[in-house]
Structure 1
Amino acid sequence: MSTHRFYLEPERWISEHPELDIPDSHHCADVLRLGVGDTIVIFDGCGTAAEAELLEVHRKRCALRIGNPHQTPPLRCAITLAQAVPKGKNMDLILQKSVELGVEEIVPLLTSRTVVRLDSADDGERKMERWQQIALEACKQCGRNSVPRVANPSTLEQFVGRSPAAGLLLLASLHPDARTIKEVLAEYTAESNGSPSSVTILVGPEGDFTPAELTLLKQAGARSVTLGPTILRAETAALYCLSVLGHELF
């Protein structure tokens, strides 16, 4: 199977000979230098993928013939990462690696100690577009056929208000009494007679959540988990949590 992967929106699959968008057509024709008769892999971002033959190849237009599509089964547990937005480009790294590690949704959090601020609706929209594009590009690279949802940035109060009652809510914690992720998962499984179908992990900013925020999260049912004996940077903490959850639940 070809390793060159391209995203094709679900609504375009019904066309007899759908076309790649202009940036992907340019990449196909001018960068990869593929030609008529070559095959690529396309995916719709919702779990479906297929091989496709190139019928026409131009830098602004590449037409395809789609082969038999196949559906990727969902992972056994839907994991949401609620991440306090770190400064610099660390959020970009977290997004990219979260996709590779199987996260279902990423919720950017704006907390009391979050340095990043969205001063206008335009700021938020630009960041959302960038973050969603990073998630899409990560799917192309890692072979994933479902693109995780990047939610609108929200305050902690907004996040708690929108969180579903079902599933397991975990809080990455510096508290000495916090238990390991494995221990908390075992406790939940015993209580519920089965593994969780969804898990949300909250990772705070540098300096952690404030005492008031921690109280709010505990009242919402969050269970504290330790990330080991050392203090991790925000991006390391997020990837550690997702790696452990993936190992235990997928």
Structure 2
Amino acid sequence: MSPPLFWADSVPAPGADLILSGPEGRHAVTVARLGVGERILVGDGAGSVAGCEIREITGKDTLVASVREFSFQARPAPQVTLVQALPKSERSELAVDLATEAGIDVIVPWQAMRCVARWTGKADKGVAKWRAAASAAAKQSRRPWIPEVTDLATTIDVRARCADAVAAGGVVAVLHEEAARPLAELPLADASEIVLVVGPEGGLDDAEVADLTALGAHSVVLGPEVLRTSTAAAVALGAIGVLTGRWSR
């Protein structure tokens, strides 16, 4: 089993000492009960990761580790952005968790027409929860990159993002259970960027699908099963990993 990963503001070069404190230090010392001589990974969430050995434990929330190895991993290509319509509260952070574990690069929370959940007056709180969920899931899955979670998007914002992606040579896939074309038929391997659009529990409104396809998006189906909004992106990312070079290493 690989060593546990913790986040730090920066990652020093091999030979240096690193102090892990605060919530991350407390989790390592008090929750995980790590001790002197054990190995850990420390990353900055932006591609840099150090393999470290714990040298000293100080109190209940601080440790000193010696950096043994350093690596930097570039983001996989093509970049995949998820436009996620807001799920119901009990499944909201699950969608972020699963997409992060599956490798998403950017997550755009979207107040779609049929969303039961409404972030009116509390968007900052919702975005903060999604960012925390993305950070925790990236750490759990040993990802060197924490996905970016943007501010809450309106349909106008989503239109603009999708139009820009298409104009730059990207592919926009609108996951829709009534579509006839499978995701695998899209030219994903040659795309500069992939944008996945996932609707809410009630599905995308026909006008939203028509609007996005008019901008160059493709309405596609993943498979014979109808997936929940919280799991659709993760399943699509698995397919994209195989159909592109994202899982080639």
| TM superposition score normalised by structure 1 | 0.86
Q: Counterpart of 1:175 in 2: which secondary structure?
A: coil
Distance 1:206 1:2, change over 3 A: closer
Q: Counterpart of 1:240 in 2: which secondary structure?
A: helix
Aligned pair 1:233/2:228, yes or no? yes
Give the letter aligned to residue 204 of structure 1.
G
* Match of residue 22 from structure 2: 22
d(CA) in 2 for partners of 1:66, 1:7? 14
Which of 51-60 and 75-84 deviates more? 51-60
d(CA) in 2 for partners of 1:113, 1:215? 15
Cα deviation, 1:181-208, whole Å, max 9, x if unaligned, reads 11122xx6xxxxx611310011111222
Superposed displacement of residue 233, structure 1: 2.0
Runs of 4+ in 1 over 4 A off after TM superposition: none
Superposed displacement of residue 86, structure 1: 0.8
The gaps in structure 1 that reach 5 residues or longer are: 189-193
Q: How many residues end up aligned between the 2 structures?
A: 239
Aligned pair 1:205/2:206, yes or no? no
Distance 1:50 1:179, change over 3 A: same
Which of 237-246 and 82-91 deviates more? 237-246
Distance 1:227 1:38, change over 3 A: closer
* Match of residue 44 from structure 2: 44
* Match of residue 247 from structure 1: 242
Superposed displacement of residue 157, structure 1: 1.3
Distance 1:54 1:88, change over 3 A: same
Superposed displacement of residue 18, structure 1: 3.3
Q: Counterpart of 2:18 in 1: which secondary structure?
A: coil
1:1-250 residue pairs with structure 2 within 5 A?
3-10=3-10, 13=12, 17-57=17-57, 58-120=59-121, 123-163=122-162, 164=164, 165-166=167-168, 167-176=170-179, 178-185=180-187, 195-249=190-244, 250=246
d(CA) in 1 for partners of 2:33, 2:232? 40
Cα deviation, 1:101-145, whole Å, max 9, x if unaligned, reads 11111111101111111121xx22222222111111111111111
Q: Counterpart of 1:83 in 2: which secondary structure?
A: strand
Q: Counterpart of 1:6 in 2: which secondary structure?
A: strand
Equivalent pairs: percent with the same residue? 31
Distance 1:235 1:34, change over 3 A: closer
Superposed displacement of residue 214, structure 1: 1.9
| TM superposition score normalised by structure 2 | 0.87
d(CA) in 1 for partners of 2:139, 2:152? 24
Give the letter aligned to residue 175 of structure 2.
A
Distance 1:151 1:35, change over 3 A: same
Cα deviation, 1:135-175, whole Å, max 9, x if unaligned, reads 11111111111111111111121121234222111111233
Superposed displacement of residue 2, structure 1: 5.3
Is the Cα contact below 8 Å between 1:46 and 1:146 reproduced in 2? yes
Give the letter aligned to residue 158 of structure 2.
F
What's the Cα RMSD here?
A: 2.2
d(CA) in 1 for partners of 2:99, 2:201? 19
* Match of residue 191 from structure 1: none
Give the letter aligned to residue 238 of structure 2.
S
Is the Cα contact below 8 Å between 2:30 and 2:61 reproduced in 1? no
Q: Counterpart of 2:20 in 1: which secondary structure?
A: coil
